[in-house]
A = this chain, B = another copy of it.
Amino acid sequence: MKPIQVGLLGIGTVGSGVFNVLHRNQEEIRRRAGRGIEIAMVADLDVERARKVVGEGVQVVNDARAVIANPDIDIVIELIGGYGVAKALVLEAIAAGKHVVTANKALLAVHGTEIFAAASAKGVMVAFEAAVAGGIPIIKALREGLTANRIQWLAGIINGTTNFILSEMRDKGLDFAVVLKEAQRLGYAEADPTFDIEGVDAAHKATIMSAIAFGIPVQFDKAYVEGITQLSATDIKYAEQLGYRIKLLGITKRVERTDATGKAVGGIELRVHPSLVPAKRLIANVEGAMNAVVVQGDAVGATLYYGKGAGSEPTASAVIADLVDITRLHTVDPLNRVPHLAFQPHTLDQAMSELPVLPMSEVVTSYYLRLRVADQAGVLAKVTGILAGAGISIDAVLQREADEVGGEGSTQTDLIILTHDTREGTMNDAIAQMQQLPTVLAPITRIRKEELN
């Protein structure tokens, strides 16, 4: 049988990986897929560079639309990135009846609903294993491996750049800005690292996983997003002393409880922020640029998936797995294929109305608070009095000697408090009150804490 014909839009780092791995492992891949898979045409603005990667025998053009228009092409891989031209090209490829493979998390997190609807209407597949956690087959695990389960929550280290920075901050006791520069020098962080360090990239990925886990549409605009730029080496050190590591987690959780007034609060938490995680958890020990996702299902319990979340060939591994899936399934009646977002598309809207994404003020979690306070009697009583008044219960308090914190003769010290589960809105109010105390000398640091059990 003739190899399935693939057109590649954008042949940078990941695209080169796809081409190279497909070529190197073509025999194994053919033995799995039952049919060869061949990159027949490549579009890239830099035709010279593209030509160097693919050699002769593959058509190279600078116009992506020429690939989409080619009637011999069965599958289009979109590796351009971003929301702009990539969106137009993906929709055009779908309209032309091509199956699409993409690694574009931003595009799917923001425009997934439109794209999947167009694909369903046209009867083509849009596959995106590479969009979340690189080479880890987490999309397949969530969409197919855990179908028996009512997913309760998932939490992931899904941005390698920030995990590398946090690992370095902890190992070397350095502050964020210093490590970021080093990461940029080593190529672990981009020249403009905003999407990574502000948590946006992780939120794109968490949004996609949230949809697949709970059967709701992608809703990036409802995600709470907080990056790691405000983290200090001090807090990492205190967390360590309390038995925790600080990780940037993408978290999504199904919530079924009643609020203070007795009203049922059903919904989905969707949030990215730095989190204290018990040091003994496996995910707390995921270091450097590695990724890992923990998924809690009601039948299976906790499962964890770990691997490289970025890079040329790890990401190519996921792109090619999608190519093999499509090669196996493209002749199948579209109704029998695996739904794009794991659940039958006609059920998503009702689920969204039953499981709205909750505002951050309704999230319930526990907290690490650090207060820079005057080293004098009665401070702890005032602070804990405010917490008690708000109904916030305390799990642990760590008060440092003033000398240790500010040097000999210091009149300031750090008060660290771990709380039990509290509604974020309640915690916001309590922090505002504590901040008013004359003995609280600096902005209060608040980091959320997840026990993940």
Contacts and interface: CB of A to CB of B under 8 A. Distances in A.
A135 B300 contact: yes
Kindly report how many copies of this chain are found in the complex they form together: 2
A280 to B, nearest CB: 8
A378 to B, nearest CB: 44
A151 to B, nearest CB: 9
Contacts of A190: none
Interface residues of A, number: 66
B344 A34 contact: yes
B135 A317 contact: no
Contacts of A34: 335-336, 339, 344
B332 A314 contact: no
Contact of A317 (B299, B304, B307): B299
Contacts of A325: 144
Contact of A301 (B135, B285, B302): B135
Given A25-B299, A285-B282, A307-B303, A321 B140 contact: no
Contact of A303 (B305, B313, B337): B305
Contacts of A147: 29, 32-33, 320-321, 324
A75 interface: no
A164 B135 CA distance: 30
A317 B149 contact: yes
Given A324-B147, A344-B32, A300 B313 contact: yes
B286 A300 contact: no
A298 B25 contact: yes
Contacts of A299: 17, 21, 25, 135, 313-314, 316-317, 320
A183 interface: no
A150 B307 contact: no
A453 interface: no
Nearest to A212: B32
Interface in A331-377: 331-333, 335-339, 342-344, 347, 351
A305 to B, nearest CB: 6
A215 interface: yes
Contacts of A313: 298-301
Interface string A411-427: 00000000000000000
Contacts of A145: 129, 137, 140-141, 321
A191 interface: no
Contact of A306 (B140, B303, B333): B303
Contacts of A316: 148, 299
Contact of A140 (B140, B148, B149, B347): B140
A60 interface: no
A229 to B, nearest CB: 28
A95 interface: no
Nearest to A327: B336
B300 A307 contact: yes
Sorted nearest first, the 9 A-B pairs with minimum C-beta distance are A137-B145, A148-B320, A303-B307, A135-B300, A300-B317, A304-B306, A299-B313, A147-B324, A299-B317
Given A25-B148, A149-B317, A301-B308, 17 more contacts: A21-B149, A21-B299, A25-B150, A28-B215, A29-B147, A32-B343, A135-B297, A144-B144, A148-B321, A282-B282, A299-B313, A300-B308, A301-B314, A303-B308, A304-B305, A331-B332, A331-B333
18 contacts: A21-B298, A25-B299, A28-B149, A31-B215, A32-B342, A32-B343, A34-B344, A129-B145, A134-B300, A135-B301, A140-B144, A141-B141, A144-B324, A146-B317, A146-B321, A147-B321, A300-B317, A304-B304
